[in-house]
Amino acid sequence: MYCMLRLSLALLLALACMGLAQAQAEGDASSFSLRGFGTLGVARSSSDHVEFVRDLSQPKGIRGGQWSGRIDSVLGVQANWQAAPELELVGQVVGRLRYDRSRDPELMWAFAKWEPDARISLRAGRIGADFMMLADSRLVGYSYLPVRPSSDFFGPLFFSHFDGADASLTVALGDALVRGKLFAGETREKTSGTPGIWDTSGSSLHGLVVDYLVGPWQFRANTARARFSHDINTAPLPALLREAGLALGVPEALAAADSLASAGKASRFFSLGVVYDEGPLQLQGMVNRIRHESGVFENSTAGYLLAGYRMGVATPYAGISWWRTRDRTYTTGLPNVPPLADLNLAYDQFMQASRVDQVTYTLGVRWDLWTNLALKLQWDAIRGSSASRFSFARSDAAWNGRTNVLSTTMDFVF
Amino acid sequence: MKGMRKMLLYACLMAWSAFASADLVLVANPKAGIDRLTQSDVVNIYLGRYRHLASGLTAEPIDIEGEADLKARFYRRLVGKSLAEINAYWARLVFSGKTQPPLAVVNTEEALQRVASRIGALAYLERGKVDRRVAIVFDLGE
């Protein structure tokens, strides 16, 4: 399966290169296009005790009032080749902060799209999962109003693409449109885990998206399921818990060891969203619910509301978002005496590492300086409990749940 | 006195034709089998949401980039959006590898030629520039 996908990706790239050569030879600019997007951004987060990150894939964030370009800066280029009236090939490469702290270019999309008519679209290759309502990519700052998609809502969705296929069908019902999309594939990404790096490549992903569009309104329902391929790095704790459980005859310790596994465990994602976009006014709202089979992640709910109103070239906006996980009861069943107390402590730390309970208030303004360049200034006030740590990178004991993030970006397309 | 009245009438006519030509209309190929389009049809076609025409054809919208504020006027009247907002809208779709934006041409004459030669093509232009090669399918008004 993997080899086949690799082969099809290589084939796509070769085709795209041939397309470029052909387009140049014929002087035909319309069948081939090369475009790009980027963000130059600096941000600072006031707290000394956590690192604010854009989403959980980022291994390092910003802290201590230091201005940094680390989390938001990105550059991408995309080639489209209309090989035939019904067939288009698309490739996109992006440089951004990755799980290993590098900014090595990453192949985001490489797919063939077949549209036998204007109602049906089939795509295969490396494609995006459109968890955001308005786009598959969450990295094109120019395309959305705030500096970044809500970290409370999109933070836990650390994967950007998958290798597989999607099929969408749009039907007209009077003045309204209904669009359904099915997608399935395997993720190829690694993410920053706590601790170390979590390899999620080979995890299966599938889901369904239904959109209803009428006039200025868009409504969406989305469900997705991922089954993880690898365990998060909890060694050697599970083996020690098993050993202690067997030696002392404590079945809860064996169950506790099993609860730390993520390989073969599924997570389910549900979301509902609405957009109202009429003239100068833009309103958006989404809610989600994430359910995990693995014990290392707490189930969560999140949501956001965002409103903007264009006044000439400036669009001020305000938003609120929240992310909460549900505490679970858990125990190793082992007596709290040395050396078992250390196992209990380590287990507690893992079980609490995925806890979040926070609200973010956002104010900002976007200036559209030219039709391909925008400047943004945004202030986020994060107010949470001191146990709210999963949403950040590296927290220490003095974290009190409050930080203010000031961000400014220049977003462009070319 | 009679000459005065004639001149006044002429001035009125001039003003009327200037007013009329500021009117924007959407035109299609006469053979496309499109009688009229509704506002939501035009929004769906130009924003790339749904380009399937009742006749089974795929609509091929055209943007005119090189004529003062023609494109800006069209989108302001159609959806009340600025060109920067329309660009941001297309950045979402294009960089998601979804629908392509309308084909860009330089001027009205190029748009007219394309509509006359491509059966699914659609273009907006000033009413005064409509000729027999094309048929009006939607009136954006003043």
Q: Which domain holds residue A101?
A: 2-27+39-413
Q: Which region holds residue A135: left if phi is over 0, alpha if psi is between -120 and 50, else beta?
A: beta
Q: With contact defined as beta carbons under 8 Å apart, do B120 and B58 qualify?
A: yes
Does residue A313 form part of some domain? yes
Q: What is the pLDDT of residue A199?
A: 87
Query: Considering the entire predicted model, what is its pTM?
Result: 0.89
Does residue A408 form part of some domain? yes
Q: What does DSSP assign to residue A55?
A: S
Does residue A32 form part of some domain? no
Which residue, A133, A168, A172, A127, is CA-closest to A150? A133
Q: What is the pLDDT of residue B3?
A: 59
Which residue, A323, A314, A332, is CA-closest to A375? A314
pLDDT tens digits, A336-351: 999 999 999 999 999 9
Does residue A164 form part of some domain? yes
User: Cα(A374)–Cα(B93) distance, rounded to whole angstroms?
Assistant: 18
Q: How far is B47 from chain A (nearest CA, A)?
A: 12
Q: What is the pLDDT of residue A24?
A: 46
Chain B residue numbers with beta carbons less than 8 Å from the beta carbon of A35 are: 94-95
Instruction: Supply the CATH number for residue A155's domain.
Output: 2.40.160.10
pLDDT tens digits, A47-68: 999 999 999 989 999 999 999 9
Does residue A169 form part of some domain? yes
Cβ–Cβ gap A368/B84 under 8 Å: yes
User: Cα(A316)–Cα(A309) distance, rounded to whole angstroms?
Assistant: 6
A window 180-219, beta carbon within 8 A of B: 213, 215
How much is the average pLDDT of A6-24?
49
Q: List domains and CATH numbers for chain B.
A: 23-141 (3.40.190.10)
Does residue A357 form part of some domain? yes
Q: In the structure encoding, which two tokens stand for residue B130, read together?
A: 């409509």
User: Cα(A332)–Cα(A34) distance, rounded to whole angstroms?
Assistant: 56
Does residue A33 form part of some domain? no
Does residue A34 form part of some domain? no
User: Cα(A60)–Cα(A53) distance, rounded to whole angstroms?
Assistant: 7
The residue of A37, A114, A123, A136 whose CB has the most chain B CBs within 10 angstroms, and thus the best one to mutate to test that interface, is A136
Which residue, A257, A252, A255, is CA-closest to A241? A257
Q: What is the pLDDT of residue B8?
A: 61
Chain B residue numbers with beta carbons less than 8 Å from the beta carbon of A175 are: 38, 40
- pLDDT 10s per residue in chain B (142 long)? 555 666 666 555 555 554 445 799 999 999 998 989 999 999 999 999 999 998 889 999 999 999 989 999 999 999 999 999 999 999 999 999 888 899 999 999 999 999 999 999 999 999 999 999 999 999 998 7
SS3 content of chain A, % helix, strand, coil (to 5): 15, 45, 35
Burial class (CB in 10 A: 0-12, 13-18, 19+), A143: buried
Number of domains in chain A: 1
User: Cα(A13)–Cα(A30) distance, rounded to whole angstroms?
Assistant: 19
